Amino acid sequence: MTSSAPAVRVERERILTFQGGCNFRDIGGYRTQQGSSTRWGKVYRAGVLTYFTDDDHAPLTDLQVRAICDLRRAEEREREPTRWPHANINALFWDDGIVTPTIRGLSAERPKNAQGMFDSMVALYRALPEWMGPRIGGMFAAIAAGDVPMVIHCAAGKDRTGIAVAVLLRSLGVPEETVIEDYLLTNTSGNFEEFIRSRHQAHLGVTDTHSPLLSMPEDMRRVLFSADAAFLHAAFEQIGDVEAYLAKTAGISASVQEQVRTALLE
């Protein structure tokens, strides 16, 4: 259950700070194995988009976002609706399906301690790639169709967003070690527990009045709210070859993958 400080050198601001923002970052500036770089200002990753303040509206508008890819479940979208400063965006969201993997459900089957929570998180990351196939497919299709700049987000911007962005970066040729560094930036770009406690009714997909996960022991909360390379590795093991995963599970053809590379690489 360890993490390391990212070694990525950036040319522009990667972590974007908003008064009501949660884990909001730009994924530009990452070098690929082929020698190109991901474009700045094209894809952002974030947590919940519910709590922006009036002072956030102008800098958010300056991002010129055209699409918001919401990876959350329907109940999360209803409980914490997106509040973007303008309405002329393509809002992407999907049905949940019959069986939806959640940390609440997976942790109920395991010991109530830090190791049990760690094992639950690994199980979650193993289950999410299959469930997220339609979501990731829709995300790729929208990018290929020109819906950028785009914000990809879930509740904390860590688990579902982490997997979706990892698949995207790997498909662009960004080395796995760099993808993991981007994922681990979550550990320095936001304090989720503080965010929840400082905003009335904030949930981030993990707590509600009926099942307050914030009441669990501190060592369990630390695992729940952290990004750990072992979690993303568990997802990578399930995904296998990224191009094959995109074709089979996400329904994305090689030509669409190439269009995404054209849109996001310089």
| pLDDT single digits (tens) 205-218 | 454 444 456 677 88
Which helix (H) or strand (E) covers residue 140, if one does?
helix 133-144
- The answer to whether 127 touches 158, Cβ cutoff 8 Å, is no
**Nearest residue to 83 (alpha-carbon basis) of 51, 54, 119, 129:** 51
Q: How many CA atoms lie within 13 A of 254 on its CB side?
A: 1
Q: pLDDT by residue (tens digit) across 59-79?
A: 999 999 999 999 999 999 999
Task: Decide if 82 is inside a domain.
Answer: yes
- Report the CATH number that the domain containing residue 180 is assigned in CATH: 3.90.190.10
Q: What is the mean pLDDT of the chain?
A: 90
> What pLDDT is attached to residue 215?
73
- The answer to whether 228 touches 117, Cβ cutoff 8 Å, is no
Task: Decide if 48 is inside a domain.
Answer: yes
Task: Decide if 10 is inside a domain.
Answer: no
Q: Is 86 exposed, middle or buried (0-12, 13-18, 19+ CB in 10 A)?
A: exposed
> What pLDDT is attached to residue 148?
98
Task: Decide if 15 is inside a domain.
Answer: no
Task: Decide if 240 is inside a domain.
Answer: yes
Neighbours of 185 (CB within 10 A): 20
Confidence category of residue 194, pLDDT binned at 50, 70, 90: confident
* DSSP symbol at 15: B
Task: Decide if 6 is inside a domain.
Answer: no
E strands, the chain, are 25-26, 43-46, 67-70, 90-92, 150-153
Q: What is the DSSP string of 36-96?
A: -BBPTTSEEEES--S---HHHHHHHHHTT--EEEE-S-HHHHHHS----S-S-SEEE----
**How many domains are contained in the chain?**
1
* DSSP symbol at 136: H
Task: Decide if 264 is inside a domain.
Answer: no
- Domain containing 139 equals 25-198+212-257
Rounded to two decimals, what is the model's pTM?
Answer: 0.90
